Amino acid sequence: MSTTDDDESQRNIEIVLTAMRELFADKDVTALDRYWAEPYTQHSPQMPNGLDTLRTIVPTLEGFSWEPQRIAASGDLVFTHSRVLGWAPGPVVIVDIFRLEKGKIVEHWDVVQEEVTADASANGNAMV
């Protein structure tokens, strides 16, 4: 990976972290205008394409927290591994994949699992 690729990856990580903090922690839906772009392609099976669903859902989230534990990037893709509260009835662990174009998030995939504590896991390892 070249220095240019490393710079792009680091910029994209910073964009995703700022975007997620402003949107979900601060509940600032204007962050969608700053850090996301249409057409926004959504691969999460519970959500339609476009930003309207996020504009509607975010203000209603109660007790929501997004706690990224690991983050990596390769070019236009940013990967986060996080513990999330307030998205489901109990804590969940989510791997999000964001694709950016011209500094804006334009595509999203996720894998969501209910959190299992280390003592309840067959291997004794924590999920995050």
- Which has the closest alpha carbon to 98: 84, 81, 77, 112? 77
Does residue 122 form part of some domain?
A: no
Stretch 4-24: mean pLDDT, rounded?
94
**What pLDDT, on a 0 to 100 scale, did the predictor assign at position 5?**
78
Q: How many CB atoms sit inside 10 A of residue 102's CB?
A: 7
Enumerate residues 6+ apart whose C-beta is below 8 A from 57. none
Does residue 126 form part of some domain?
A: no
CA distance 127 to 76: 26
Does residue 69 form part of some domain?
A: yes
The pTM of this model reads: 0.92
Does residue 125 form part of some domain?
A: no
Q: How many CB atoms sit inside 10 A of residue 10's CB?
A: 11
Domain containing 50: what range? Answer: 3-116
β-sheet bridge partners, residue 36: 105
Does residue 127 form part of some domain?
A: no
CA distance 10 to 43: 24
Does residue 128 form part of some domain?
A: no
Do 15 and 35 form a contact (C-beta atoms < 8 A)? Answer: yes
- Can you give the CATH number for the domain in which 81 is found? 3.10.450.50
Mean pLDDT rounded to a whole number for the chain:
95
Q: Which amino acid is at 114?
A: E
Give percent above pLDDT 70 in the chain: 98
Residue 37: both structure tokens together = 């772009």
Does residue 105 form part of some domain?
A: yes
**What pLDDT, on a 0 to 100 scale, did the predictor assign at position 83?**
97
List, for residues 63-113, the tens digit of each pLDDT value. 999 999 999 999 999 999 999 999 999 999 999 999 999 999 999 999 999
Does residue 93 form part of some domain?
A: yes
List, for residues 16-46, the tens digit of each pLDDT value. 999 999 999 999 999 999 999 999 999 999 8
- Domain total for the chain? 1
Q: Is the pLDDT reported for residue 121 higher than 70?
A: yes
